[in-house]
Amino acid sequence: MRILLASPESGVWNSRKHIHMGLGYLAGALLAHGYQVDLWDAAVEEDLESFDERLARDLYDIVGISAPTPLIVSAWEAAESAKKQGATTIFGGPHLTLMPHESMQKPQVDLVVRGEAEQTIIEIMHALERDRGTLGSRDKDTGKQGRALSDSQPVTPRLFDPNAGWGDILGLSWRDLQGKIHHNPDRPLADDLDAIPFPAHHLFKIERYTNLNPLTDGLDPKARAYTIVTSRGCPYKCTYCSKPITGDTWRGRSVDNVIAEWRWLVEELGATEIGVTDDIWNLDRTRAKDLCRALIDNRLNHVPWVTIHGMKVNNTDQELFDLMKAAGCKRVGFGVENGDDWMLRHVIKKGQTVDMARQAFGWAKKAKLQTMGFFIFGMPGETEESMEKTIQLALELDPDLAHFLMAAPFPGTEMWEILEKHGQVFSHNMDWSQIAIQDDKAHFAFGDLDTETVERKWHEAHRRFYLRPKRIARIVTRGDTWRRFPYYVKAAGSMLLGLGEREAA
């Protein structure tokens, strides 16, 4: 069986192109079980060859498509093309885990996988092998499984024979021979991450991906930038955070297992930059320190690495940052979110205070690490005063890079429930493609706070943070400024002047 795993691209997320670890992990599991698999990531392929061209060039029996919420509409479009080519379509990823039935109602979606899927995908392959009777024979001329359709023929969903064991596959949604949709019980979270095969890093066209933070200096813009997941899950319950896949239970890989993958990336795949993308990599501080010591002991500390999102300001100390620096870490990212303790405690429920952020930034800077802060504007309950406190805190902490984001409601979060109760979002008729973080429009008004005020404070944050004389001096004196000039002009138009993405471009 030939399998293609694909990710549609988000038009809004255009500054960073990172490898898709979900597809990498699935491909790793399939390869470990002897299946042939290819990857297609729109983020880096679409400029060269469209999805339709790719499907026409190669014959695939199975097309697996991944989708977070903002990409689900593009994913449905991609599935339509795959079905026209006679493939069986399998969907998975965050949005499918949150809203599986919505996609199962689409004729172009044959199977939906909820949650972590390394084991589920293998069980699906075995069931498909048992269920060949309903697969339709291969076309004698084209060799294609199923039947390629002409443009005028409607796509119909594939039906499955329960005798092939479909009902036993945890975390799967499927249709029986009568077309009835079944949602099997959820699959429990994988408890032994060391037992999961490494992601198929070697299948990514790594030279087409960007470095891990194009906005900042110090990292090689042409880096071979890989990412690594050293733990999954997070026990905190921040009200805006959507973590349908990795869940609330933190599970760490053993230090030895992480080091083996890190060594592969550095010594065989030529990684020149590595990003840790855990939800919260420092939940177990002892393990985090052990991992740093192991990177030093194994002489893997010459390749710079960054914690892209996953560091919590609590659970840190000076020793941790010193060890990270010695282990090759270049930059740490922290979710600061808000400058108002009341907001942090009662609205965001972050389990941290403003003082904890001050302390962590102090320690990280003392260890000579670059710092990055994430700040959210416009949470329900936010006021102009609390947003002002957030700007003040960003100026005080003065990270190397400040990411100011406007709150984006994702289904399954407490924020979504609050907004739904107040009639601000509707699960049944949302335009999912409009929900995105890193956008320059506020997604909702709440209480006395209107969208204009949120957008004004968000633009003001960019201006007051980035247009300080010392910041401008830093950019002007940087080696790569002139090469990156067009990018800066575009970013300035969008973030500082309030031009839309298109006008700014």
Binding residues for ligand B12 (CB under 6 A)? 7, 9-10, 12-13, 16, 18, 20-22, 25-26, 43, 64-66, 68-71, 90-95, 98, 113, 116-118, 121, 229, 241-243, 245-246, 277, 279, 309, 410, 436-438
CA atoms 176, 182, 188, 193: torsion sign: positive
Residue 323 or 373: which CB sits closer to ligand B12? 373
Residues 254-293 that bind ligand SF4 (CB under 6 A): 279-280
Residue 119 or 314: which CB sits closer to ligand SF4? 314
Q: Least separation, in Å, of the C-beta of 241 and ligand SF4?
A: 3
Look at residue 238 and give the partner it binds from ligand B12, ligand SF4, none, a contact being a CB closer than 5 to 8 Å depending on partner kind: ligand SF4
Burial class (CB in 10 A: 0-12, 13-18, 19+), 406: buried
Q: Least separation, in Å, of the C-beta of 312 and ligand B12?
A: 14
Look at residue 460 and give the partner it binds from ligand B12, ligand SF4, none, a contact being a CB closer than 5 to 8 Å depending on partner kind: none
Look at residue 16 and give the partner it binds from ligand B12, ligand SF4, none, a contact being a CB closer than 5 to 8 Å depending on partner kind: ligand B12
Q: Least separation, in Å, of the C-beta of 52 and ligand SF4?
A: 36
Q: Which two tokens stand for residue 277?
A: 């993308």
Look at residue 280 and give the partner it binds from ligand B12, ligand SF4, none, a contact being a CB closer than 5 to 8 Å depending on partner kind: ligand SF4
Look at residue 10 and give the partner it binds from ligand SF4, ligand B12, none, a contact being a CB closer than 5 to 8 Å depending on partner kind: ligand B12
Burial class (CB in 10 A: 0-12, 13-18, 19+), 104: buried
Chain centroid to CA 475: 29
Instruction: Give the nearest residue (CB) to ligand B12.
Output: 92
> Are residues 451 and 393 in contact, defined by beta-carbon separation less than 8 angstroms?
no
* 64, β-bridge pairs: 5, 90
Q: Least separation, in Å, of the C-beta of 158 and ligand B12?
A: 15
Q: Which amino acid is at 384?
A: E
Q: Which amino acid is at 118?
A: E
Q: Which of 23, 219, 234, 313 binds ligand SF4 (CB under 6 A)?
A: 234
Q: How many CB atoms lie within 10 A of CB 430?
A: 16
* C-alpha distance from residue 311 to each of 37, 358, 372 (Å): 33, 14, 10
The one segment of 39-47, 206-214, 235-243, 314-322 that binds ligand SF4 by CB under 6 A: 235-243
Order the strands of the 370-377 sheet from edge to edge: 225-228, 273-276, 305-307, 329-337, 370-377, 401-406
Look at residue 403 and give the partner it binds from ligand SF4, ligand B12, none, a contact being a CB closer than 5 to 8 Å depending on partner kind: none
Q: Least separation, in Å, of the C-beta of 413 and ligand B12?
A: 8
* C-alpha distance from residue 55 to each of 67, 103, 274, 457 (Å): 19, 21, 32, 46
Q: Least separation, in Å, of the C-beta of 342 and ligand SF4?
A: 18
Regarding 238 and contact with ligand SF4 (CB under 6 A), the answer is yes
| DSSP secondary structure string for all residues of 377-437 | E--TT--HHHHHHHHHHHHHH--SEEEEEE----TTSHHHHHHHHTTS--GGG--GGG--S
Q: Least separation, in Å, of the C-beta of 68 and ligand SF4?
A: 14
**Number of helices and strands (H, E) in the chain?**
18, 15
Residue 326 or 405: which CB sits closer to ligand B12? 405
Look at residue 312 and give the partner it binds from ligand B12, ligand SF4, none, a contact being a CB closer than 5 to 8 Å depending on partner kind: ligand SF4
Regarding 403 and contact with ligand SF4 (CB under 6 A), the answer is no
**SS3 of residue 22 by DSSP:** helix
Question: What is the three-state SS of 133-195?
Answer: HHCCCCCCCCCCCCCCCCCCCCCCCCCECHHHCHHHCCCEEEEECCCCEEECCCCCCCCCHHH
Residue 51 or 361: which CB sits closer to ligand SF4? 361
Look at residue 292 and give the partner it binds from ligand SF4, ligand B12, none, a contact being a CB closer than 5 to 8 Å depending on partner kind: none
The one segment of 124-132, 154-162, 206-214, 236-244 that binds ligand SF4 by CB under 6 A: 236-244
Contacts of residue 55, defined as CB under 8 A and 6 or more positions apart, other chains included, come to 4, 63, 81, 82, 85, 87
Q: Which amino acid is at 275?
A: G
Contacts of residue 123, defined as CB under 8 A and 6 or more positions apart, other chains included, come to 168, 169, 172
Residue 25 or 377: which CB sits closer to ligand B12? 25
Look at residue 93 and give the partner it binds from ligand B12, ligand SF4, none, a contact being a CB closer than 5 to 8 Å depending on partner kind: ligand B12
What is the rounded distance in angstroms from the CA atom of residue 442 to the CA atom of residue 460? 14
Residue 97 or 301: which CB sits closer to ligand B12? 97
Regarding 83 and contact with ligand SF4 (CB under 6 A), the answer is no
Regarding 437 and contact with ligand SF4 (CB under 6 A), the answer is no
- Per-residue string for binding with ligand SF4, 333-362, x by CB under 6 A? --x---------------------------
Residue 59 or 283: which CB sits closer to ligand SF4? 283
Q: Least separation, in Å, of the C-beta of 288 and ligand SF4?
A: 15
Q: Least separation, in Å, of the C-beta of 232 and ligand SF4?
A: 10
Q: Least separation, in Å, of the C-beta of 355 and ligand B12?
A: 25
What is the rounded distance in angstroms from the CA atom of residue 368 to the CA atom of residue 214? 20
**SS3 of residue 273 by DSSP:** strand
Regarding 454 and contact with ligand SF4 (CB under 6 A), the answer is no
What is the rounded distance in angstroms from the CA atom of residue 165 to the CA atom of residue 127? 6
> Are residues 146 and 135 in contact, defined by beta-carbon separation less than 8 angstroms?
yes
Query: Residues in the site for ligand SF4, rule: CB under 6 A?
Result: 234, 236-238, 241, 243, 279-280, 312, 335
